[in-house]
Amino acid sequence: MTRGSIQAMGHSFGLSAGQRSGPQLEAELPPPPELLPADAVVDLAVARRDTGVDEVLERLDAELVGLGPVKTRIAEIAALLLVDRMRSQFGVSAPQPSLHMCFTGNPGTGKTTVALRMADMLHKLGYLRRGKLVSVTRDDLVGEYIGHTAPKTKEIIKRAMGGVLFIDEAYYLYKVENERDYGSEAIEILLQVMENNRDDLVVILAGYADKMDQFFSANPGMQSRIAHHVSFPDYTVSELEQIAGRMTEQLGYKLSAGGREALQEYLVRWIIPPWFSNARSGCNAVERARLRHARRLVNGADQQVGLAALTTIEAPDLLASRVFEQARTRDGDS
């Protein structure tokens, strides 16, 4: 890319050459901090505490069950940025790493939640000016007629600058079967910004793994700008039970022994595609059980109920699900 095209791209976002997209201070910048001598030591534990990065990682671990490989990659990125901060205190510098990412996995595997925590973590570590996440899809970026896409895409990028831009189902930006589609224009703008403003914007693409592979094959420039590919695995039945259990407690309910067995049976049957949506399936099971629980109490013969009855989800509240009805129908047909 030529120097002129880079400057032109900056001007299109209201920037002059050499100017960051963040708020500018009219006053003279303070002098850089004094460097540490070569024989000095730094306390990484104190640095972690002062930046708040441990708090972010702990919150991520508390919010999401499982996802061990995903959490490991996020912790590695946090460690790299923290060590870079410590190295800079000795005058040792390296180019700022590119952190554009691709999150692949099925629906309900926690991709958006991890992106939110990533934005917060990168802000706390000083990589980004803001801990803000702007989440968009194709409709937010691509116009419907000539001259409509560029303003839409640039407006979204302007909103996201200083933070994280999360593009869900990013492969829909490119429609190979439609030569007149305007998605390629949005991709071209994104490519330029991902290269020229990578110290002030992190772009995270998300979607199904196979479709993202096809997208990258058709758009090798985008592939080359993605530094981290993070795969989100499907949840196991055991992990889904934990998710549903957490949600039940947060809502002020508990599962009886029979209710826990029914929940496990429900998940074993529901985990089969195409309708399975990971954590959302577990949450939906609890929400529907709440409806049946309430109806059971209101329509019950005994209208005098105590706290235990009001807060306990029983097996019938789950076994009435159409998931079991479909299983009985399949067994009857066979």
| Model pLDDT for residues 263-284, shown as the tens digit of each residue | 888 888 777 656 667 777 778 8
Sign for the pseudo-dihedral over CA of 195, 196, 199, 201: negative
What pLDDT, on a 0 to 100 scale, did the predictor assign at position 4?
A: 47
Find tokens 């302007």 and name the residue. 158
What pLDDT, on a 0 to 100 scale, did the predictor assign at position 29?
A: 57
Contact 133, 163 (CB under 8 A): yes
Per-residue pLDDT of the chain (334 residues; tens, 9 = 90+): 443 444 444 445 554 444 454 444 444 656 767 888 888 888 898 988 888 888 888 888 888 888 899 999 999 999 998 998 889 888 888 788 889 999 999 888 889 999 999 999 999 888 899 989 999 999 999 988 888 899 999 999 999 999 999 999 999 998 766 667 788 899 999 999 999 998 899 999 999 999 999 999 988 889 989 999 999 998 888 888 888 888 899 899 999 999 999 988 888 877 765 666 777 777 888 888 999 999 999 998 888 889 999 999 999 998 888 777 665 555 444 4
What span, in angstroms and rounded, lies between the C-alpha atoms of 202 and 120?
12
User: Which residues on neighbouring strands pair with residue 168, listed in sequence order?
Assistant: 206
What span, in angstroms and rounded, lies between the C-alpha atoms of 62 and 185?
40
What pLDDT, on a 0 to 100 scale, did the predictor assign at position 1?
A: 41
What pLDDT, on a 0 to 100 scale, did the predictor assign at position 23?
A: 44
Among 165, 106, 107, CA closest to 140: 165
What DSSP string runs through 10-50? HHHTT--TT--SSPPPSSPPPPPPPPPPTT----HHHHHHH
What pLDDT, on a 0 to 100 scale, did the predictor assign at position 102?
A: 96
Contact 258, 293 (CB under 8 A): no
What pLDDT, on a 0 to 100 scale, did the predictor assign at position 334?
A: 43
What pLDDT, on a 0 to 100 scale, did the predictor assign at position 209?
A: 93
